[in-house]
Structure 1
Amino acid sequence: MSPVLVGTVGLVLLLGLLLVRIPVAFAMFAVGFVGIWILNGLQAATGLLSSETFALASDSELIVVPLFILMGNVASVTGMSRRLYDAAYATIGQIRGGLASATVIGCGGFAALSGSSVASALTMGRTALAEMDRFDYSPRLSTGVVAAGGTLGILIPPSTGFVIYAILTEQSIGRLFMAGILPGILLLAAFLLTVTILCSIWPEMGPKGPATDMKEKGRAFLGAVPILVVVFITIGGIYTGYFSPTEAAGIGAGLVIIIGAFSGTLDLRSFWAAARSSIVTTASVMLILIAAHLINPFIALSHLPAEVSEMLVTLDLGFYGTLILILAIYLVLGCFLEGLAMLVLTLPIFMPVIMDLGVNPIWFGVLVVLTLEMGLISPPVGINVFIVKSVAKDVPLIDIFRGVMPFWFAMLACLIILLAVPQLSLWLPSMM
């Protein structure tokens, strides 16, 4: 059996395991280990498993993952994320569709804390859905805006998606974080515009909320100041070069713990809950990374990247044609696979092609992560849709999917803009 055939069978088998809901890491471990065993022998497979596990577990750069996750979890249990929503709600909640717009802003703020789309959708779903239901918002709009707004968590730094991409492609985590800021703001603005358009055409979808006076607005904004300061210090410190992403993660986690302790919102029980959740999430991410470093050599040994590169050269689609085809593949895969699994599976195959084309890997990272976001709300899988469904149990799943589709097209428009104007992604990293 030729190496290419072994690689193809292995990838098909891996896709099958993922579709029947075998955990991503375990599926990749099995296929990668057996594949290397077949192509290079049992000793090579066992040696690589032990060496890669130790190398990744001892990589100091990966400390950024648990620290940023801990920062987001502590911000959630202490109510800091809720106060971001309250500030946005007090400012624009009284206009038509204002609660939905406040939810988008709240999701963006929480994304800057957690780096997790699932955590953003779950937290804001618990906070915002009840408020929008109380003011008779359309369930399609309310659930759609929470599911779509949650996707900001994978683009606005600190982003787990960028961390995984950086490790798999050996790019700078700090530059990827900076590259995600302007696209994240663009996407947030596109979501706000979508809410405005929907509520202008169908006013009954987003009735006006209660008016708030300046005193209430000031109180709500004052409550959000501590967490805004944390975000400014961590992201600003990376941009100015005062500290690395790992140091920024430690400073951010330390600051939210200190703020929570001094404000009386963080006790030992809630801190333990946040720390325990962070450990579980970090373990999941680490397992995926270790499995990725096992399956990547298998894909390389199978010569699949060279075959795919040769095929794309034969198609002669040119620079943008090849890039758009690769992103289209991500869009299709996003309908069936979880985002991190897609990164691990596809980057070893597509990165050699991207580098041969002369595509800036930082720009490509932003495009890929945005495409992964679209997969989070694409049927039939749409992880964020199912997260929102777990909170809004009385809303039919089909209505949630219908609610997110306008936001999906807004994301597609942003992807086209970023394709046409690469400097939106590359300007801030170039200024670091």
Structure 2
Amino acid sequence: MSDFLIGLSGLGIMFILMILRMPVGMAMLAVGFFGTMVLNGSRSANALLVTETFSATSNYSLTVVPLFILMGNIASAAGFSRRLYEAAFAWVGRLRGGLASASIVGCAAFAAVSGSSVATAVTIGKVALPEMKRFGYSDGLATGAIAAGGTLGFLIPPSTGFVIYAILTEQSIGQLFMAGVLPGLLLTVLFMATVTLVTLRNPAAGPRGAEVPIRERFVALLRALPLIFVIVTSIGGIYLGVFTPVEAAGIGAALVIVMALLSGKLDRESVVRAVSDTIRTTAMLYLIIIGANLLNPFLALTHLPATLGEAMMSTGLGPYGVLLLIVVAYLVLGMFMDGLAMLVVTIPIFFPIIMSLGFDPIWFGVIAVIVIEMGMITPPVGLNVFVVKSVAGDVPMATIFRGVLPFWFAMAVGLLLIVIFPQIALLIPQAMFR
């Protein structure tokens, strides 16, 4: 069997292991280790396992992951996420579909703390879904807005997707974080516009909320101001070069912990639960990165990425035609794979192609993350749909998938705009490092 076929077989075995419910990181680690053993012998495989595991876990840049996860968990445990939603509701709740729009704004704000789409969808969903149900919102619009808004956690900094992309491609985490700001705001606006269109077509789907007096709006905004201050401090500090992403994560986590203690909303049980969730999530992400670091050398030995790259380049479709093929491949994979798994498996294959075509690696990072976000709400897997289902247990899966469909098209519009106008993603990073 040729090296190329061994590589294809390895990927096939990895997908089978994932289908059999083996953790993503372990599936990649097993294929990378045993594939290297087949090609280069057990001594080489053992050496790879030791060196790559150490280099992956000792990477200083990865410190940003547990710190930002802890910041999001503490903010959620202290009830700060509810304050964000209440502030958004006070300002836009009176509009038709205003509760759904407030949920999206709340998701965008909490995404700037948590860096996780799942955490964002669960946290805001628990607060917003009962309110939308009380005001008579349709199940499709209510759950669709939460599922779509939750995906912003993968794009708006601090994004775990960008951290892993940066590690795999050796790009700047700071530049990637900044590149996600304007696209994240663009998707937030497009989601809110989608809510407006849905409610114009069917006014009963999203009735207007109660009018909130202007004084109470500012009171709600003032209550949310501490967490907004943390967001501005963390992201603004990176942009101004005051501190690195790791330092920003540490400062943000410390500020949230201090505010939570001062507010008296944090008890021993909440702290233990937040720290335990942080450890579990961090361990899962580290295992994925270790697995990717073993899988990538195996794929390189089989020449699989280079062969697939040459095949795509030989199609004669041109740079944007090849980019379209890559986007379609992501959309298809997104129907069956978890977002992080898709990122670590595909980047070693697609990234060299993108570089050879002359595309900006930071810009492609934004494209890849958005397409992966689309996969999070695409059937039959649609991770965020299952997350929302866990919060809205009485809503059928088919209803949730129908509800997210308009938002999926909104994301497609956003993706197209970023492809046509790359400066949407590159404006802030280029200004930051000019």
Q: Does 1:104 align with 2:104?
A: yes
Equivalent AA in structure 2 for residue 201 of structure 1: R
Equivalent AA in structure 2 for residue 346 of structure 1: T
The runs of 5 or more residues in structure 1 that have no matched partner are none
Equivalent AA in structure 2 for residue 189 of structure 1: V
Q: How does 1:10-25 map to 2 (within 5 A)?
A: 10-25=10-25
Distance in structure 1 (CA, Å) of the matches to 2:345 and 2:95:
45
Distance in structure 2 (CA, Å) of the matches to 1:268 and 1:59:
31
Q: How does 1:159-198 map to 2 (within 5 A)?
A: 159-198=159-198
Residue aligning to 2:233 = 233
Q: Does 1:66 align with 2:40?
A: no
Residue aligning to 1:294 = 294
Distance in structure 1 (CA, Å) of the matches to 2:254 and 2:110:
17
**Farther-moved stretch of structure 1 (310-319 vs 286-295):** 310-319
Residue aligning to 1:318 = 318
**Farther-moved stretch of structure 1 (345-354 vs 67-76):** 345-354
Distance in structure 2 (CA, Å) of the matches to 1:378 and 1:348:
23
Residue aligning to 2:216 = 216
Equivalent AA in structure 1 for residue 21 of structure 2: R
Distance in structure 1 (CA, Å) of the matches to 2:95 and 2:56:
50
Cα deviation, 1:66-90, whole Å, max 9, x if unaligned, reads: 0000000001000111100000011
Deviation of residue 209 (structure 1)?
Answer: 1.2
SS at match of 2:121: helix
SS at match of 1:66: helix
Deviation of residue 99 (structure 1)?
Answer: 0.4
Q: Does 1:339 align with 2:339?
A: yes
Distance in structure 2 (CA, Å) of the matches to 1:394 and 1:59:
44
Distance in structure 2 (CA, Å) of the matches to 1:333 and 1:224:
38
Distance in structure 2 (CA, Å) of the matches to 1:335 and 1:160:
20
SS at match of 1:315: coil
Deviation of residue 246 (structure 1)?
Answer: 0.3
Residue aligning to 2:133 = 133
Residue aligning to 2:273 = 273
Distance in structure 2 (CA, Å) of the matches to 1:211 and 1:133:
18
Q: Check the 8 A contact 1:19/1:337 in 2, yes or no.
A: no
Distance in structure 2 (CA, Å) of the matches to 1:277 and 1:101:
29
Distance in structure 2 (CA, Å) of the matches to 1:259 and 1:268:
15
Give the TM-score of the pair, scaled to structure 1.
0.99
Equivalent AA in structure 2 for residue 375 of structure 1: G
Q: Check the 8 A contact 1:19/1:336 in 2, yes or no.
A: no
Residue aligning to 1:153 = 153
Distance in structure 1 (CA, Å) of the matches to 2:410 and 2:144:
13
Q: Does 1:262 align with 2:262?
A: yes
Give the TM-score of the pair, scaled to structure 2.
0.98
Structure 1 runs of 4+ with >3 Å offset:
none
Residue aligning to 1:303 = 303
SS at match of 1:378: coil
Query: How many matched pairs?
Result: 432
Q: Check the 8 A contact 1:65/1:282 in 2, yes or no.
A: yes
Equivalent AA in structure 2 for residue 326 of structure 1: I
Residue aligning to 2:45 = 45
Distance in structure 2 (CA, Å) of the matches to 1:391 and 1:267:
24
Distance in structure 1 (CA, Å) of the matches to 2:90 and 2:306:
55
Deviation of residue 267 (structure 1)?
Answer: 2.6
Distance in structure 1 (CA, Å) of the matches to 2:306 and 2:83:
51
Distance in structure 2 (CA, Å) of the matches to 1:311 and 1:92:
50
Deviation of residue 18 (structure 1)?
Answer: 1.6
Distance in structure 2 (CA, Å) of the matches to 1:396 and 1:268:
37
**Farther-moved stretch of structure 1 (203-212 vs 240-249):** 203-212
Residue aligning to 1:362 = 362
Q: CA RMSD in A?
A: 0.8
Q: Check the 8 A contact 1:100/1:145 in 2, yes or no.
A: yes
Cα deviation, 1:273-301, whole Å, max 9, x if unaligned, reads: 11111011000000000010000000000
SS at match of 2:359: coil
Q: Does 1:349 align with 2:349?
A: yes
Residue aligning to 2:247 = 247
Distance in structure 2 (CA, Å) of the matches to 1:414 and 1:358:
22
Distance in structure 2 (CA, Å) of the matches to 1:19 and 1:405:
25
Deviation of residue 28 (structure 1)?
Answer: 0.8
SS at match of 1:50: helix
Residue aligning to 1:419 = 419
Deviation of residue 201 (structure 1)?
Answer: 1.2
Equivalent AA in structure 1 for residue 333 of structure 2: L
